[in-house]
Amino acid sequence: MTETSNESDDLSEWVAFATDDFTEPADPRRDPIMWTVVVLALITVIGVILVRPTGAAEEALERSDVIRQFGFVSDFHEARVDSVDIAPCEFQPEENCATVIFELTAGPDLGEFRQQLFPDNASQPRFEVGDAVVLAKIPGGENGFDYQYSDRQRRPVLLWLTIAFAAAVVVLGGIRGVAALAGLGGSVAVLLLFVLPAILDGRSPVVVALVGASVIAYLALYLAHGFSKMTHVALLGTLSALGLTALLSSLVVSAAELSGLSSEEVFFLIGVETVDVRGLVLAGIVLGAAGALDDVTVTQASAVWELARTNPALRMVDLVRSGLRIGRDHIASTVNTLLLAYAGASLPLLVLLVLTDQSLGATANSEVIAIEIIRTMVGSIGLVAAVPFTTWLAAWYVSRHGPDKLGDGIHQHGHGVSTG
């Protein structure tokens, strides 16, 4: 009974949070923030229509051998290791080879066995009987196709990890956590159904990324934080910083004369005429910054709201000054987060560069490292710019309307305080 009551309280709190602004006496038709949000939403919708994927390029690629000539396959089936036999290699007796027999546990050839030979060295996978693996169906063999080892079967681990993540978010966040997961699902859908297909269609990657990031911002902010004035302000701060990041990244990438050919994966895309590999660098910078921007802008808007509620006598200049003090601490930690995230993704490369004993200047000058530096610096500039703009906008809005007429950025109830 208590658990049901708590769930009901959470739901009531979320409904109040998401709809509180509709109860205020102010005329929404005279609200400049609301009109700006609506106009930008219309521009975003127009952008989605203009750069929407048609599927033509993807269909053309399916009929061509541009990707398949590199050995990429799309037909995979589960299998398990039936036996492993290590013996001297026939072609090189001084070395050992592992003869592995796989039993297909899924697919049209369920129950059949396939044999594959692996050199017994550190660069090859190690197998134990019973290991779950994935086999790729490739051209060859008596039937016109054969199976070849592709990778370990990791889907069960990934599935349980996803369930644990979702459970942690829901348990700690309640209804807000469910809304946040819905926003996350929307972000993934935008990336898979809009951004990637549109880029394959030959649309400008940076334009597609900017439009896609704007859609994600609307979905993520309103689903996670409700339809409130505070969220409107945070959204405007996010979109403004996204525009600045896109503009600045275009200028810097052009000035640095980056080719975009900094990773092994990109070389496979050279033969795809519709993909602008240099534009992918710009798109990556914009999307990378978008992930941290909503956190910064929501924090700043919420901080100003709470300051105004705590002391309604504060002037706009006082709200801005106090909000910026909070923002400085937040920016310091967020910029460090960006740096460590990019460094962590490139850690093997950084170790390799250290082993080559190159100077710091030579290392930074290489395109693969220069791109990561530009990602960090440009993304950080966008984050830094979002703080004063969002803080000023929130302070101006609160000073203009008064905190009691704006709807809660942070809701207070008899049983405690919950942040928006």
What is the per-residue pLDDT across 246-288, written as a single tens digit (0 to 9) for each? 899 888 888 888 777 766 666 667 666 667 777 888 888 888 8
CA distance 205 to 174: 37
Residue type, 35: W
Number of domains into which the chain is organized: 2
Regarding whether 188 and 146 lie in a shared domain, the answer is no
User: Contact 408/418 with Cβ under 8 angstroms?
Assistant: no
Q: Are residues 177 and 148 in the same domain?
A: no
Residues 107, 179, single domain; the answer is no
Domain for residue 159, yes or no?
A: no
Shared-domain flag, residues 228 and 349: yes
d(CA 303, CA 108) in angstroms, rounded, equals 58
Structure tokens at 326: 């909070």
How many of the other CB atoms lie within 10 Å of CB of 8?
A: 10
- pLDDT of res. 132: 94
- Partners of 151 in the β-ladder: 134
pLDDT tens for the chain, residues 1 to 420:
454 555 555 555 545 544 444 334 455 556 788 889 999 999 999 999 998 888 766 665 665 565 566 666 778 899 999 999 998 888 788 888 999 999 999 988 899 999 999 988 888 888 999 999 999 988 776 667 789 999 999 999 999 999 999 999 999 888 888 888 888 899 999 998 899 888 888 888 889 999 999 999 999 899 888 888 889 999 999 999 999 998 998 888 888 887 777 666 666 676 666 677 778 888 888 888 887 888 889 989 989 988 888 888 888 898 999 888 888 877 777 777 767 776 776 777 777 777 777 777 777 777 777 887 888 888 888 888 999 999 999 999 888 776 555 554 444 333 333 333
pLDDT at residue 418, rounded to an integer = 34
Amino acid, res. 21:
D
**DSSP 8-state code for residue 417:** E
Q: Is position 295 within any domain?
A: yes
Question: Is 136 among the domain residues?
Answer: yes
Q: What is the DSSP string of 248-296?
A: HHHHHHHHTT--S--SHHHHTTTT-TT--HHHHHHHHHHHHHHHHHHHH
How many angstroms separate the first and last alpha carbons of the chain? Answer: 27
Whether 266 and 297 map to the same domain: the answer is yes
Q: Are residues 206 and 307 in the same domain?
A: yes
The verdict on 38 and 148 lying in the same domain is no
**137 and 28 share one domain:** no
Q: Phi/psi class of residue 257: alpha, beta or left (left: φ > 0; alpha: ψ in -120 to 50)?
A: left
What strands lie across the sheet with 145-152, from one edge to the other? 113-119, 96-104, 76-88, 132-139, 145-152
Tell me, yes or no, whether 299 and 359 share the same domain: yes
> In this predicted model, what pLDDT tens digit does every residue of 222-255 receive, in sequence order?
988 888 888 999 999 999 999 999 899 888 888 8
Which residue type sits at 59? E
222 and 130 co-located in one domain:
no
Q: Is residue 237 domain-resident?
A: yes
Residue 60 falls inside a structural domain: no
Q: How far apart are CA 376 and CA 338, in angstroms?
A: 6
Instruction: Please tell me what DSSP assigns to residue 228.
Output: -
86, 120, 153 - which closes a domain: 153
Q: Is residue 165 part of a domain?
A: no
Last residue of a domain, one of 123, 153, 183: 153
Angle CA 401–11–236, to nearest 5: 35
How would DSSP label each residue in 12-74? HHHHHHHHGGGGSSS-GGG-HHHHHHHHHHHHHHHHHHHT---SHHHHHHHHSSTTGGGT---
Q: Which residues are CB-contacts of 357 (< 8 A; sequence separation ≥ 6)?
A: none
Whether residue 227 sits in one domain with residue 108: no
The 8-class DSSP code of residue 131 comes to -
Adjacent-strand bridge partners of 118 = 98
CA 105 to each of CA 27, 76, 110, 113, 114: distance values in angstroms, whole numbers, following the listed order: 64, 12, 5, 10, 12
* Residue 311 located in a structural domain: yes
- Look at residues 247, 226, 210 and name the one whose alpha carbon lies nearest to residue 40: 210
The Cα–Cα gap between 284 and 291 comes to: 11
Q: Specify burial of residue 330 (Cβ count, 10 A radius: 0-12, 13-18, 19+).
A: middle
Do the domain assignments include residue 65? Answer: no
Q: Which residue has the tokens 């060859």?
A: 140
The bridge status of strand 145-152 relative to strand 132-139 is antiparallel
Q: What is the CATH number of the domain that holds 106?
A: 2.40.50
Range of the domain at 137: 74-153
Question: 218 and 300, same structural domain?
Answer: yes
Q: Which residues contact 5 (CB under 8 A, 6 or more apart)?
A: none
Half-sphere exposure of 403 (CA within 13 A, CB side): 22
What does the alpha-carbon distance between residue 188 and residue 184 come to, in Å, rounded to a whole number? 6
Torsion of CA 16, 18, 21, 24, to 10 degrees: -20
Q: How far apart are CA 71 and CA 390, in angstroms?
A: 49
Quote the distance between the C-alpha of residue 356 and its chain's center: 32
Q: Is 297 exposed, middle or buried (0-12, 13-18, 19+ CB in 10 A)?
A: buried
Neighbour-count burial of 82, counting CB atoms closer than 10 A to its CB (0-12 exposed, 13-18 middle, 19+ buried): middle
- Distance separating alpha carbons of residues 294 and 281, to the nearest angstrom: 21
Q: Are 402 and 312 in contact (CB under 8 A)?
A: yes
